[in-house]
Amino acid sequence: MIGNKNEGLSITLGFPDEHGYDNKKKQSVYRIWKRLSSLQRSLIFLVLLLCGISAIYIIPNLRQSHTTITDQVDPVKDDEKGSIQKLKLEKEKADFIASLKRKHAKHQIDDLMKKVKNQNANVAPAVKAGGHGEDNVLLPPDDQKEQALSNDARLDHGNEDEDSDKDDNVDGQLNHPLKTVDNDFKVEQKENSAVYDYFSPYRKHSSKQSAVIDAFKSSWSAYKKYAWGHDEFHPISKTHSEWFQLGLTIVDGIDTAIIMGLKTEYEDARAWIQNDLVFTHDRDVNLFETTIRILGGLLSAFHLTRDNVFKEKATDIGNRMLPCFNSPSKVPYSDINLLTGRAHAPRWGPDSSTSEVTTIQLEFRDLSRITGDKKYEKAVDTVSNHVHNLPKKNGLVPIFINANTGHFRNSATITLGARGDSYYEYLLKQWLQTGKTNRMYKDDYKEAVDGMRSQLVRQSEPNKLTYIGELLGGRSFSPKMDHLVCFLPGTLALGYINGMPEEHMDLAKELMRTCYEMYNKMPTKLSPEIVFFNQAQKSKDDLFVKPADSHNLLRPETVESLFYLHRITGDKIYQDWGWQIFQAFMKYTKVEGAGFSSINNVRSKGNPGFRDKLESFFLAETLKYFYLLFEDSIDYLSLDKYVFNTEGHALPIYSQ
């Protein structure tokens, strides 16, 4: 113990005295210290120093351990317990469903391999040789079963009813994929975000993707040889023509070359755009077509490469089209002279097409986002708000609107075909592009789909194919369906995984089957431009084609929807349908040494007749969607990061 103050500072050493008493001997600390040698003193200092350093590290850890133990021992609140237990149960459920998916996917792939093997065994030799004399188009065998199982998208994004013994590919009852809820993702695209290396030499393509790439290169090569720099290519006569004098095929097709990883084709296109693309020709252009093909193509190329050449050209043409919005109603005029800036209604009448004035918003909004100039987005938002406030028939709109008065032509037809289609498409896609923050687009879209289901959806006889008809004059139902309507299955499916009702997905699958049958029921396995569906109870065939409607323009809509349905459900039946259609294009529309041409008559296998025209959308959309259809990775151009405009150009999704 410590001694009293008279003796100075002392410390009890605890030694017994010489008489054996228990009295503790007191010694002065100072005296003891003086007796120590220099070495002993140094050792004491060292020990004290080490103890101090140890305390610095040990004491905080002891406190942290005490806190952890306390957290584990102390009871949590009831709501916290419930949340933890809920998370554990959800994880266990997800693991269980995943195991079922793998088991069922293997069962489906086994059956699919058997069917493909049997199909190939029964195909006539003439078809295998590429002859024109057989109805069926050969489907090549899929990859090895084990590889197919490992790559099968259904393992993570497929059918939910995995405990059923039915094969979804056989019975046609495709189960719903998992969907998201509102505001489940908001991706903020940043100017300096990393750019994917589309031209990497390590990229791999499936055999079907390689076939699509060859088709693109064949068309591109022929266009470059005979029509480079011109809008349109005529592969039979090997000539060219102008529509807008803007190198339409190049600008429309450049992002497809990027996505496919075709560096040479891309570099040729980029050089032409940088050096030769000008907007000073004294020529009228259509606002809608120029926006979706030229502006959309330039914006997509910019986002995929971050090359400012495309941004500068996009800004230039965007500025030149702004005078279209200087109408009394702010509904844009349909045409404009890019040199003089004079905008006007179309030559054929006073009205603009409804789809045209409402299918420019994705592109102009994106232009504002990359330039920081709000004038482009403001112009198209004014149009959208105006149309939103106009009276409609169950959310459905007539196909004509007057730029001077701002009103619909009430006697106009209501259709999801020509002049009406992409109005509905852009309602959903604008909601997605803005990060699901503008409910006006979502509400208008849901109302429109409800209107379609109540006013336009019918079933044919005798096989009950679901189709979308028209209201002539806004009143009288017609069982007419354009091939253009086949964009709708993909749009409905895209809406479903972003929170739309389950019946949207039901309708998407039914319409997808119908669009496929529009190809499958034709002798050439190619769809006509327009079909009519039978409504009489005793009809022999579900659909018929008028002679004037039997042509095929190499349109993309069905392939586009097949891409969405496969990407969303993971069901390979959509790839099979797409491959059959691609093979039919190869058989009946390919021109030896000159790419592809639209044809006159899909009902004639022996003489379909070339129309001598390659549409730019065949490169921009049809082949692009074929390529993406045969891509099994859901992360390649992910649907939660990109939205495709109506010409197939990929634009980013923003947070608002």
The token duo for 610 is 């070339």
In the residue annotation, 289 being an active-site residue is answered as yes
Mean pLDDT, residues 104-122: 46
Residues 6+ apart with CB under 8 A from 64: none
pTM for this prediction = 0.74
- Reported as a single tens digit per residue, the pLDDT across 64-86 is 544 444 444 444 444 444 555 55
Does position 158 have pLDDT exceeding 70, yes or no?
no
DSSP element (H, E) containing 471: strand 470-472
**pLDDT category of residue 60 using cuts at 50, 70 and 90:** low
Considering the candidates 152, 289, 510, 621, report the single residue annotated as catalytic.
Answer: 289
Residue 260 lies in a domain: no
Q: How far is CA 162 from the centre of its chain?
A: 26
What is the reported pLDDT for 85? 54
Helix (H, G, I), strand (E, B) or coil at 167: coil
Residues 6+ apart with CB under 8 A from 351: 345, 400, 401, 402, 403, 409
- Reported as a single tens digit per residue, the pLDDT across 324-373 is 999 999 999 999 999 999 999 998 889 999 999 999 999 999 999 999 99
**pLDDT category of residue 58 using cuts at 50, 70 and 90:** low
What is the reported pLDDT for 516? 98
CA distances (Å), origin 26, targets 35, 138, 372, 387:
15, 108, 85, 102
- Residue type at 198 in one-letter notation: Y
**Mean pLDDT across the chain, nearest whole number?**
83
Helix (H, G, I), strand (E, B) or coil at 413: coil
CA distances (Å), origin 491, targets 149, 253, 618, 644:
28, 22, 20, 11
What is the reported pLDDT for 157? 34
Residues 6+ apart with CB under 8 A from 407: 390, 401
Taking the CA atoms of 256, 260, 265 and 266 in sequence, report the sign of the dihedral they define: positive
The token duo for 426 is 């852009």
The token duo for 266 is 């891309």
Find the angle CA(590)-CA(593)-CA(594) to the nearest 5 degrees. Answer: 65
- Residue type at 453 in one-letter notation: R
Does position 255 have pLDDT exceeding 70, yes or no?
yes
CA 30 – CA 41 distance, rounded (Å): 12
What is the reported pLDDT for 179? 60
In the residue annotation, 232 being an active-site residue is answered as no
Radius of gyration of the chain, Cα coordinates, nearest whole angstrom: 35
Q: How many domains does the chain have?
A: 1
Q: Are 169 and 159 in contact (CB under 8 A)?
A: no
Q: How far is CA 501 from the centre of its chain?
A: 19
CA distances (Å), origin 402, targets 344, 381, 406:
11, 18, 5
Q: How many CA atoms lie within 13 A of 4 on its CB side?
A: 1
Neighbouring-strand partners of residue 239:
234
Residue 432 lies in a domain: yes
What is the reported pLDDT for 154? 31
Considering the candidates 363, 366, 517, 529, report the single residue annotated as catalytic.
Answer: 529
What is the reported pLDDT for 322? 98
Residues 6+ apart with CB under 8 A from 324: 287, 332, 333, 334, 335, 336, 343
- Reported as a single tens digit per residue, the pLDDT across 588-641 is 999 999 999 999 999 999 999 999 999 999 999 999 999 999 999 999 999 999
Residue 275 lies in a domain: no
What is the reported pLDDT for 569? 97
What is the reported pLDDT for 39? 78
DSSP element (H, E) containing 650: strand 650-652
* Sole residue written with tokens 């290396």: 197
Mean pLDDT, residues 105-121: 47
What is the reported pLDDT for 177? 65
- List the one residue out of 445, 450, 421, 365 whose CA is nearest residue 560: 421
**pLDDT category of residue 13 using cuts at 50, 70 and 90:** very low
Residues 6+ apart with CB under 8 A from 408: 354, 390, 391, 397, 398, 400, 401, 402
The CATH number of the domain holding residue 508 is 1.50.10.10
Residue 551 lies in a domain: yes
- Reported as a single tens digit per residue, the pLDDT across 550-576 is 999 999 999 999 999 999 999 999 999
Considering the candidates 162, 421, 612, 647, report the single residue annotated as catalytic.
Answer: 421
Percentage with pLDDT > 90 across the chain: 69
Residue 1 lies in a domain: no
- Reported as a single tens digit per residue, the pLDDT across 515-544 is 999 999 999 999 999 999 999 988 899 999
Residue 406 lies in a domain: yes
In the residue annotation, 647 being an active-site residue is answered as no
- List the one residue out of 493, 367, 388 whose CA is nearest residue 439: 388
Residue 327 lies in a domain: no
CA 541 – CA 197 distance, rounded (Å): 49
Residue 180 annotated as binding site: no
Q: How many CB atoms lie within 10 A of CB 103?
A: 11
CA 100 – CA 93 distance, rounded (Å): 11
DSSP output for 198-257: TT-TT----HHHHHHHHHHHHHHHHHHHHHTTSSEEETTTTEEE-SSSS-HHHHHHHHHH
Q: Which domain holds residue 463?
A: 209-247+353-652
What is the reported pLDDT for 69? 42
In the residue annotation, 421 being an active-site residue is answered as yes
What is the reported pLDDT for 153? 37
DSSP output for 444-467: HHHHHHHHHHHHTEEE-TTT--EE
What is the reported pLDDT for 176? 59
Helix (H, G, I), strand (E, B) or coil at 613: coil
Residue 387 lies in a domain: yes
Considering the candidates 335, 351, 482, 557, report the single residue annotated as catalytic.
Answer: 557
Residues 6+ apart with CB under 8 A from 137: 127, 525, 580, 583, 584, 587
Neighbouring-strand partners of residue 153:
none
- Reported as a single tens digit per residue, the pLDDT across 489-522 is 999 999 999 999 999 999 999 999 999 999 999 9
SS in 3 state form for 543-601?
A: EECCHHHCCECCCCHHHHHHHHHHHHHCCCHHHHHHHHHHHHHHHHCEECCCEECCECC
* Sole residue written with tokens 């140890």: 54
CA 196 – CA 193 distance, rounded (Å): 10
- Reported as a single tens digit per residue, the pLDDT across 437-489 is 999 999 999 999 999 999 999 999 999 999 999 999 999 999 999 999 999 99
The token duo for 621 is 């959309």
Q: How many CA atoms lie within 13 A of 356 on its CB side?
A: 25
**pLDDT category of residue 112 using cuts at 50, 70 and 90:** very low
